[in-house]
């Protein structure tokens, strides 16, 4: 049995022990990180630089891009360093920081997605009062609530995780994840993990996901009352990306949370972990720009070379 004072580092078995494979991991992580970094930074810049995009929907999208940047920056840089140095260690303080940060950004992400569902609900179901209801003050309040709720959520679970006694310091992952740390507990880890899952489902997943579902039931009822036209297409074009992002977040987080415990790393668990921790940050900006003509037009304007006027 080990406690916090006995552990100076954790061993991450998510990395192979062959130098050649680790270099492939390093290249893969580097490509994923640079792609996600560029995509999310571009969204933030294009929204800030183009006044027509200064609307509640894009305000939340900027916040979502910030959480995506934070989330992927918590895990990938350290994974790149370990892969490059052919190392499997992460310090105890580094592990604590990863758990704190990853939970914070993941929960902020989900709370922001819930706020975006409310924004879409007001925009489509009550368009005449949209500007009054979704003013700058309301948007700021929803964003602040999302960030503060994430802080309260992570404080509870991170403190609960690092006060337990550990039977081992070996993690079957490439970063410090709460579900993996709980499996190292010498105090009836099964009950702790079940309690963590139930609390997460009851306090976060069910209420937020339920609110999103109810919002979209009303949204689709309103949309289908509109005659097929450009207006209906525009409503779907703003809702479908949000639904895709919500579904991706909920599915990957649920699979990671509910996967059965194991004591040796497997390719399946590695894929699930990557889907949960990396893919949303990479896919979110792609989904939101793929069918969004306003962002595409703003991006084209930002990169369009200046053409000097012709001499008369």
User: What tens digit of pLDDT does each residue of 201-255 get?
Assistant: 787 778 888 898 898 888 888 887 776 655 566 666 777 777 888 887 777 666 6
pLDDT beyond 60 at 265 = no
pLDDT exceeds cutoff 60 at 266: no
Total number of residues shown for the chain? 312
Q: Which residue has the higher pLDDT, 34 or 51?
A: 34
Q: Which residues contact 275 (CB under 8 A, 6 or more apart)?
A: 252, 255, 256
d(CA 283, CA 57): 18
Beta bridge partners of 250: none
Q: For 79-96, what is the mean pLDDT?
A: 86
Up-side HSE of residue 282: CA atoms within 13 Å toward CB? 15
With 0-12 / 13-18 / 19 or more C-beta atoms within 10 angstroms meaning exposed / middle / buried, residue 236 is: middle
The b/e string for 294-304 (b: 16+ C-beta within 10 A; e otherwise) is bbeebbeeeee
Are 66 and 41 spatial neighbours (Cβ–Cβ below 8 Å)? Answer: no
State mean pLDDT over 56-85: 89
Q: Is the pLDDT of residue 271 over 70?
A: no
Contacts 24+ apart (CB under 8 A), 259-262: 259/179, 261/183, 261/193, 262/172
23 in Cβ contact with 87 (< 8 Å): no
Q: Strand 9-12 and strand 170-171: pairing?
A: parallel
Residues 6+ apart with CB under 8 A from 36: 68, 69, 72, 278, 281, 282, 285
Residue 196 pLDDT > 80, yes or no?
no
What pLDDT score was predicted for residue 312?
Answer: 44
The larger pLDDT score, comparing residue 3 to residue 237, is at 237
**What does the alpha-carbon distance between residue 284 and residue 72 come to, in Å, rounded to a whole number?**
12
Do residues 246 and 212 lie in contact, with contact meaning Cβ atoms separated by under 8 Å? yes
Can you tell me the mean pLDDT for 184-195? 67
Select from 230, 253, 286 the least CA-distant residue to 35. Answer: 286
Residue 141 pLDDT level (bands cut at 50, 70, 90): very high
pLDDT of residue 270: 62
């Amino acid at each position: 049995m080990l406690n916090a004072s006995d552990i100076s580092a954790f061993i991450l078995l998510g990395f192979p022990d062959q130098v050649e494979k680790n270099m492939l991991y390093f290249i893969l992580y580097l490509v994923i990180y640079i792609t996600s970094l560029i995509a999310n930074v571009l969204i933030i810049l294009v929204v800030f630089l183009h006044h027509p995009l200064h609307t509640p929907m894009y305000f939340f999208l900027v916040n979502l891009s910030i959480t995506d940047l934070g989330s992927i920056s918590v895990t990938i840089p350290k994974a790149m360093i370990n892969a490059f140095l052919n190392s499997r260690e992460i310090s105890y303080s580094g592990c604590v920081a990863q758990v704190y940060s990853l939970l914070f950004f993941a929960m902020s992400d989900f709370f922001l997605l819930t706020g975006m569902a409310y924004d879409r609900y007001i925009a489509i179901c009550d368009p005449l009062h949209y500007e009054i209801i979704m003013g700058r003050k309301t948007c700021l309040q929803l964003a602040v609530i999302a960030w503060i709720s994430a802080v309260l959520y992570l404080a509870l679970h991170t403190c609960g995780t690092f006060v337990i006694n550990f039977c081992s310091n070996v993690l079957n992952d490439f970063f410090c994840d709460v579900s993996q740390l709980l499996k190292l507990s010498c105090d009836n880890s099964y009950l702790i993990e079940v309690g963590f899952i139930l609390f997460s489902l009851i306090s976060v997943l069910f209420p937020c996901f339920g609110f999103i579902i109810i919002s979209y039931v009303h949204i689709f009822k309103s949309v289908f009352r509109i005659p097929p036209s450009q207006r209906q297409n525009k409503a779907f074009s703003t809702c479908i990306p949000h639904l895709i992002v919500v579904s991706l977040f909920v599915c990957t987080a649920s699979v990671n949370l509910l996967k059965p415990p194991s004591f040796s790393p497997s390719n399946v668990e590695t894929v699930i972990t990557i889907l949960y921790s990396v893919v949303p940050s990479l896919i979110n900006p792609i989904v939101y720009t793929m069918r969004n003509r306003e962002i595409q037009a703003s991006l084209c304007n930002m990169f369009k070379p200046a053409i000097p006027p012709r001499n008369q």
